[in-house]
Chain A
């Protein structure tokens, strides 16, 4: 036989010759002569041609777990064990067959050449870039020994800290906290950088954070999208907004930035940043004076309306409202009155608005306005912020007992974190809590015992936390930093050990949303690539090793099957709420929770059982019982800097992938043309943006979508670029957050900077 292309192609492609070729191969004894390496002789040659069974698509159910309002239900197409493409599940009326560009790129994420592939150890010191491959056993052994050493030397495990956040909101991912629960009392970076001030505000007003089903918005008669940009960040919600608009509803966007959503609205109102609370108070005053408030509802369902009204009468001057917010009084009046006249009417508040030193008070003021207008507890109404009402799982992976004799911290007790409010998550912790929004400082300052080991999961600390220089110092002083991730990001760069973790297509999990009402399954659709493991498997391996080294030192199950763990998360309550009998039904597609209108029965979970304009708890915690106007932080530099989400990323996820890099390859600072002109900056010039915290150099884009006096830069992480907008953010707290999530939020948008042309 001599080499000819045609001949080989006919063997490879042509059914008949391939069959005879393979038969010949099996018969000739060649197979037994292979020397053997990675590839093995296939004694079992499949001569059935064509390979129909192997080559057709299998489908699996998945969901996007990466902290997006939409939490899409996904259908995954797999051929011969390889993911080919995904689509949004048709069964979910919310996802309705579509995903965003990020979701559609999942195949590229899973098969990205940049994924972490093996456990590795940085041998030349943190940041040296000298990495050795280590086996899983070896990696786990090092970590287990370090934990036991800390326990022996300190008498507690408080020297071991966990920081985990929103890289994967799947329910079984609380198994990471479970892993830390199972070794003893430890240190946790507690709180949430995202939405804590608003969570507190809504809990003070209504005793819960619970919003109406977004699908109802199609029947709203008036929608205010207040500081929220669904056209970029919750695209599936837009269809309900469009539908309402088509049916004659007015859609108003109030935002300091002219966003994608603003361009689709009936009206856009540009407000001066941080004055939203005052606008809401002014609007409430206007409708009360016009007699358009819902007195009946207020009498039956609220507490402190009198005090609130007295405050409005005395303190809120409409001319000042117009001046401070930058919105003409006539426009404010028109907005307030038409909102009050339209029934049902609703307001959706974004998470950016509460990222101010007065953020919680602004959410409270807007809640109060919606309440006064009589739209709370109504179909297609509501003061929408988010909800956890479909999160009543068992948290079986989370709830692990402490090993016998565990010694803890005699400080504040109680589970913290925004999801601690739901389900069976309430363990009697005496862990030590450090403020997640001041990670660098807290790690550096923690004493007795100091933090020696840090575990990072579902989180890119360097992209999401503040003050990079301090963070580097904090990481460097730790004995051992373990980063479990899918990609090599800046946090991994400062780790001692990196552990490659599975994507949601390589494990089982279950997902619900903090916005819509759907429940989706994540099935394992493909084998884990390279040596990646799920977070649960990692926890199980650690448990096994710790128990080998010191029996009884870890209570986490010593073997973990992500499917079995997921099954344990279900309970009759969940089945009842979603109208299913078994989790297996989710294989047919996602299901939706039975329709409920939050607070329709007038029952609130506040101390008074009513909507609280006047909150004793607020007085006790934050010094103001009423949603009184609180002035925003005073500028400490020339320009305000705002750092919203971009369409191309979810916090720091996705932007490092090809499709997103194609359209958005590098960071820009968006500058109003007037400001640019004053500094002689032209489109495309490189500028330095700086303040007392740090300095960034990046290219300018000129746009009057941002107000004069404000610079906009997206929060993001780019491959091969150390840009991180948080380098300019100091970690000043917002007014609320500590009540429900353990730590206040960060006043991200109260950052001030200056800039110059380079």
Chain B
């Protein structure tokens, strides 16, 4: 059993790099984001991608699908009720989504992107207008499924892939940090 590594990077960066990992479209982008997370694991670009795909992309049945709907609505289907709720939340947050009806809004990479952008507004721009929605999104949506996703994938990765375990533990740590962070600015 590995322990969570102490955080070397800021919550904002952790969020960004994790987002980039789950949105990566090729080995290079994936490896870049993975390295940015600060891992000491040596792994080739190709090996990292091949393993990552086996866990989260396909083409075979992935170890854990990175879509909220699969955990909240129906394990076999994407683009269902939770997806549409997230769609509505994004609209209210002020986002437009160019991949609407192409990649479901509740894909982990997209959700991390939303979360990252909201956090960025607060931290860097000191705009707190949307913090309430961010908390809602975190507590009442992401936190309902991401831990289940992590748990499912970890079960396999812990005896199989250090790199994937590292990613999952970083994600877990981010989630814990975010859900326990107090001090919502008024």
Contacts and interface: CB of A to CB of B under 8 A. Distances in A.
A39 B127 contact: no
Interface string A497-527: 0101000000000000000000000000011
A133 B102 CA distance: 17
Interface stretch (B107-115, B149-157, B160-168): B107-115
B95 A8 contact: no
B92 interface: yes
Contacts of A117: 57-59
Contacts of B144: none
B54 to A, nearest CB: 7
Interface of A: prevailing SS: loop
Contacts of A409: none
Interface string A1-40: 1111101100110000010011011101011011111111
Contact of B96 (A28, A40, A526): A40
B77 A39 contact: no
Interface residues of A, number: 66
B173 interface: no
A2 B130 contact: no
A658 B57 CA distance: 20
A41 interface: yes
B46 A120 contact: no
A518 B132 CA distance: 56
Contact of A38 (B61, B92, B109): B109
Interface stretch (A42-50, A90-98, A216-224, A541-549): A42-50
B101 A527 contact: yes
A113 B129 contact: no
A606 interface: no
B50 A4 contact: no
Interface string A408-428: 000000000000000000000
Interface string B13-39: 000000100010111000000000000
Contacts of A4: 132
Contacts of A31: 94
B176 to A, nearest CB: 18
A137 to B, nearest CB: 12
Nearest to B112: A37
Nearest to B125: A33
A498 B59 contact: yes
Given A11-B92, A12-B92, A38 B58 contact: no
B100 interface: yes
Given A25-B129, A30-B127, A108-B77, A5 B99 contact: no
Interface string A57-101: 000000000000000000000001110000000000000000000
A114 interface: yes
B113 A37 contact: yes
Given A33-B121, A38-B109, A80-B84, A18 B95 contact: no
Contacts of B136: 3, 5, 8
B89 interface: yes
A38 B97 contact: yes
Interface stretch (A122-130, A226-234, A640-648, A739-747): A122-130
Given A2-B132, A133-B49, A488-B58, A38 B80 contact: no
A588 interface: no
A120 B58 contact: yes
A12 B88 contact: yes
A8 B102 contact: no
B145 interface: no
Contacts of A131: 50, 53-54, 57-60
B13 to A, nearest CB: 12
B172 interface: no
B50 A130 contact: yes
A113 B78 contact: yes
A493 B101 CA distance: 28
14 contacts: A33-B125, A38-B97, A40-B98, A42-B96, A81-B101, A82-B79, A82-B101, A108-B77, A114-B61, A133-B26, A488-B61, A528-B102, A529-B79, A657-B76
Top-7 shortest CB links A-B: A42-B96, A81-B101, A3-B135, A8-B136, A37-B113, A39-B95, A658-B76
Interface of B: 19, 23, 25-27, 46, 49-50, 53-54, 57-61, 65, 67, 70, 74-80, 84, 87-92, 94-103, 109-110, 113-114, 116-117, 120-121, 124-125, 127-133, 135-136, 139-140, 184, 186
